[in-house]
Amino acid sequence: MVVFEKPKSLTDAEFHYCPGCTHGIIHRLVAEAIDALGIEGRAIGVAPVGCAVMAYNYFACDMVEAAHGRAPAVATGIKRSLPENIVFTYQGDGDLASIGMAETVHAATRNENITVIFVNNAIYGMTGGQMAPTSLPGQVTQTSPYGRDVSVAGYPVKVAELLSSLDGPEFIARVAVNNVKNVKNAKKIIEKAFQNQIDGKGFSLVEVISSCPTNWGMTPDKALAWVEEKMIPYYPLGVFKDKTAEQEEKKA
Amino acid sequence: MTTQILIAGFGGQGILFAGKFLANKGLLEGRQLSWLPSYGPEMRGGTANCSVVLSDEPIGSPIVNKPDVLIVMNLPSLDKYEKAVAPGGSVFVDSTLIERPVAREDVKTYYIPATKLAQQNGIPTLANMILLGKVMRESSFVSFEGIEDAVRSVVSAKHADLYEVNLKAIRLGYEYGA
Amino acid sequence: MGNKVLMKGNEAIAESAIRAGCRHYFGYPITPQTEVAAYMAKRMPKIGGTFLQAESEIAAINMVYGVAATGRRVMTSSSSPGVSLKQEGISYIAGSDLPALIVNVQRGGPGLGGIQPSQSDYFQATKGGGHGDYHLIVLAPSSVQEMADMTALAFDLADRYLMPVMLLADGTIGQMMEPVELPEAREPQFAEKDWAVTGTKGRREHHIVNSLYLVPEQLEQKNFERFERYARIEREEARFESFMMEDAEICVVAFGIAARVSKNAVMAARREGLKVGMIRPITLWPFPSAALAEAAKTVKGFLSVELSMGQMIEDVKLAVSCSRPVSLCRRTGGMIMSPDEVLAKIRETAGGNE
């Protein structure tokens, strides 16, 4: 009996991610959600610029490679053209919360019926560890060598909180993948973010707190501990907006 | 034959609308034509002008540099365009709004108190069309016949109630001084 | 004279695009092209199409990229500063070999510039604009009729050669009204394309729309293949209009509104007995170099007439291999030369050769 197999929605291509990077887990969770919902044949993914730039080789569905930060706009075009398909973006923090902030906010406020997987590891990984919009105060990176000084570089962007202040989006949640319990919850939430699109409910974003051992300069297990000790206190987990649930609550 | 017409005044005086009427009239007569508005931050109160070219041949430039017919509804426009009028051309002046006479002696001049006439006849916004009536009386580049169809095509369906008053204004101008 | 209606150039673009089967428009407000967006906003919802006012020019072109990846006809329109913002997306569309229409109703620049007509985006349109090795097919309408015809043509060329096509107009052609006979309406084509992302439906390998090639040998090969296609386009798609060139000794070269003004000047010069003709490039890329090279065999000199400091003149000189003098008549910043100014330059050019 096979108890563990690769999701159908992942190709056989080998991931290029660093040892201990949680992109692999998140790819798997997305693929499992697509498999579980039986939407592989109509899924279209949009890959970002960043560490996940080659996600188009890993997801077995049709894929489009977007310019840096533009994935929500590209996904908007795809979804408007093919409303019956299931369109998702997979983006990092530099991509989504810095250069692509306008595209993110406006896709959310239009309640564009797409699913956004937002991987927040508080650093630019692909380019070698620069300060991200989500780098923590005091965090040492290549471009904040003395630690992020908020009086110069400003404060981290809390994407889930920011977007949940909008009237538009259907569903905004933050999860983490640093331990089994959190991974299991992340799986549930990511599946919901896709189910929402199937149900025509609209923009659903899942912020996934992730780790980057290589650029944080930590071993994988230390990086996971850092997620627990530093990141989650700054970026609390939970569902920040669920319009359908709110409406049902009101009715009840 | 090619006729170059320049209509100029303030935004809000119906300068572009008057040009559209001539363009539509030309279209109905099977002429070649072009209509070119000035554009920009000049919706109301600023200056506006409109170039209309009517011809029996394909039209080269749609920009009227040397008008055969100049229709002016404010003093700045007369000051600006008077010198440009082709020798032997015609200048139509709303004399309610422009007190000075045309200085050029090599052009035909027509003074019509269009704004006053419009007010007296209860159509205060249609001095532009009164001027056009006079233009049609004094020149032959479009015919007076069939003005009903041209008004119908230029008055949008939403403003169908403006059909009669526009016709009234054109006729007023056509009869003025006749 | 057929079934002609009176329309603004910008409106003719929009209606013609719809008739060409385009059902997706993304834009951002900017003068002097806003009528395109306004027309689309009115019509698209009534025919099951998409009109979306994007949050930025950058978002708009990336929405275009998204629809283009699905194999459907799609367009955006803007004016000079907005088209600068779109260059990133245009480069991606070109690099992914996707068809799309980009309209630039030019205004004066650089920077915020002005809002009056200009042709000073010639370099940007014909020499790249965005980063990397690529071309756009660039069409230059000079009448409202051509705005309509070339919009339809642009979609066909984009589909045929799998590349973005630019309609390079200007504020005058966009704002003016002329009688126009609109092209026949065609139904949108939804045929499955072997590259489009439409969902695998579990029946095929996944399609990837992409311009990233980290192995330089592969990227070089991609660019070589693309340029073989470009070479074919240069051979087969160069378009121009020849006016009074039979016995011409002076050849005016002008496109768009500058060609309209020049036509008056050419006719005036003829009345003075000067043997002048005009070659009007209709495609700016590919540039009708062969036609100019042919003219260089018989004319004594060329006069490039442009609403810029002199951009197309470089292509004119290249086309005639500097075998004949090429002079320039230019206005810039939103100013348009009068036929008299062109005529004076024609006289100068003619005099200089005697």
Where residue C189 falls among pLDDT bands split at 50, 70, 90?
Answer: confident
Whether residue C68 and residue A41 make contact (CB cut-off 8 A), yes or no, is no
Chain B interface mutation, best of C6, C107, C244, C271, highest count of B Cβ atoms under 10 Å: C6
Does A199 score more than 60 pLDDT? yes
Give me the residue from C175, C177, C339 closest to B39, CB to CB.
C175
Each residue's pLDDT tens digit, A38-76: 999 999 999 999 999 999 999 999 999 999 999 999 999
Domain count along chain A: 1
The residue range of the domain holding A236 is: 23-251
Give me the residue from B33, B60, B62 closest to C179, CB to CB.
B33
Mean local confidence (pLDDT), C193-211: 96
Each residue's pLDDT tens digit, C126-168: 998 999 999 999 999 999 999 999 999 999 999 999 999 999 9
Q: Please name the residues in contact with C343: beta carbons below 8 A apart, sequence gap of 6 or more.
A: C265, C268, C269
- CA gap C336, C329 in Å, rounded: 11
For chain B, the chains sharing at least 3 beta-carbon pairs closer than 8 angstroms are C
A107 and A114 Cβ atoms separated by less than 8 Å: yes
Strand ordering across the sheet containing A238-242: A238-242, A171-176, A204-209, A115-120, A86-92, A43-47, A62-65, C208-209
A110 and A96 Cβ atoms separated by less than 8 Å: no
For chain C, the chains sharing at least 3 beta-carbon pairs closer than 8 angstroms are A, B
Closest C-chain CA to B24? C6
Q: Could you tell me which of C229, C150, A188 has the C-alpha nearest to residue A208?
A: A188
A55 touches chain C (CB under 8 A): no
Whether residue C261 and residue B60 make contact (CB cut-off 8 A), yes or no, is yes
A57 and A90 Cβ atoms separated by less than 8 Å: no
Q: Please name the residues in contact with A42: beta carbons below 8 A apart, sequence gap of 6 or more.
A: A84, A85, A86, C199, C201
- pLDDT value at position C237? 98
- pLDDT value at position A2? 73
C21 and C46 Cβ atoms separated by less than 8 Å: no
The answer to whether residue A16 sits within a structural domain is no
Give me the residue from C67, C210, C211 closest to A77, CB to CB.
C67
C329 and C341 Cβ atoms separated by less than 8 Å: yes
* C-alpha dist (Å) from residue C101 to A70, C14, C24, C169: 19, 11, 11, 13
The domain that holds A246 is classified in CATH as 3.40.50.970
Closest A-chain CA to C205? A60
Percentage of the residues of chain B whose pLDDT score is greater than 90:
88
Mean local confidence (pLDDT), C76-81: 98
- pLDDT value at position B156? 81
- What element of type H or E holds A77? helix A71-81
Q: CA dihedral in degrees (B60, B62, B63, B65; nearest 10)?
A: 50
- CA gap B119, B113 in Å, rounded: 10
A64 touches chain C (CB under 8 A): yes
- CA gap C331, C309 in Å, rounded: 7
Each residue's pLDDT tens digit, B48-75: 999 999 999 999 999 999 999 999 999 9
Least confident interval from A187-191, B156-160, C57-61: B156-160
Q: Please name the residues in contact with A14: beta carbons below 8 A apart, sequence gap of 6 or more.
A: none
Which residues from C are below 8 Å from A75, CB to CB? 66
**B47-55 and B32-37 strand pairing:** antiparallel
Each residue's pLDDT tens digit, C209-253: 999 999 999 999 999 999 999 999 999 999 999 999 999 999 999
Does C70 score more than 50 pLDDT? yes
Least confident interval from B81-85, C270-274, C302-306, C349-353: C349-353
C262 and C311 Cβ atoms separated by less than 8 Å: no
Does C1 score more than 70 pLDDT? no
Each residue's pLDDT tens digit, B146-164: 999 999 999 987 888 899 9
A103 touches chain C (CB under 8 A): yes
Where residue A208 falls among pLDDT bands split at 50, 70, 90?
Answer: very high
Q: Which two tokens stand for residue C251?
A: 């050849």
Percentage of the residues of chain C whose pLDDT score is greater than 90:
95
Give me the residue from C4, C264, C338 closest to B27, CB to CB.
C4
Does C353 score more than 60 pLDDT? no
Each residue's pLDDT tens digit, A88-132: 999 999 999 999 999 999 999 999 999 999 999 999 999 999 999
Percentage of the residues of chain B whose pLDDT score is greater than 70:
97
Average pLDDT of chain B is: 94
- CA gap B51, B77 in Å, rounded: 13
Does B46 score more than 60 pLDDT? yes
Long-range contacts of B150-155 (CB under 8 A, 24+ apart): B150/B21, B150/B24, B150/B25, B150/B28, B151/B21, B153/B24, B153/B27, B153/B28, B153/C6, B154/B17, B154/B20, B154/B21, B154/B24
Does A229 score more than 90 pLDDT? yes
Each residue's pLDDT tens digit, A136-166: 999 999 999 999 999 999 999 999 999 999 9
Mean local confidence (pLDDT), C77-99: 98
- CA gap C200, C204 in Å, rounded: 6
Burial letters B33-60, b for 16+ CB under 10 A, else e? bbbbbbbbebeeeebbbbbbbbbeeebb
Looking at the complex, report in whole angstroms how far the Cα of residue C178 sits from the nearest Cα belonging to chain B: 5
What residue type is A226 in one-letter code?
W
Give the SS3 label for residue A102.
helix
Which of C 198-257 lie inside 8 A of B, CB atoms? 257
Looking at the complex, report in whole angstroms how far the Cα of residue B40 sits from the nearest Cα belonging to chain C: 7
- pLDDT value at position A4? 81
Sign of CA dihedral A123, A127, A131, A133: negative
- pLDDT value at position C354? 43
Looking at the complex, report in whole angstroms how far the Cα of residue C339 sits from the nearest Cα belonging to chain B: 8
Q: Which domains does chain C have, with CATH numbers?
A: 5-199+224-236 (3.40.50.970), 240-351 (3.40.50.920)
B34 touches chain C (CB under 8 A): yes
- pLDDT value at position C352? 59
Which residues from C are below 8 Å from B81, CB to CB? none
Give the SS3 label for residue A212.
coil
| Residue indicated by tokens 């965005």 | C130
Q: Which two tokens stand for residue B159?
A: 């403003």
Does B44 score more than 70 pLDDT? no
Closest C-chain CA to B19? C177
- Domain B2-175 superfamily per CATH: Pyruvate-ferredoxin oxidoreductase, PFOR, domain III (3.40.920.10)
The answer to whether residue A4 sits within a structural domain is no
Q: Could you tell me which of B25, B7, B2, B15 has the C-alpha nearest to residue B125?
A: B15
Chain A interface mutation, best of C26, C44, C63, C74, highest count of A Cβ atoms under 10 Å: C63
Chain A interface mutation, best of C62, C93, C200, C211, highest count of A Cβ atoms under 10 Å: C62
Where residue B41 falls among pLDDT bands split at 50, 70, 90?
Answer: low
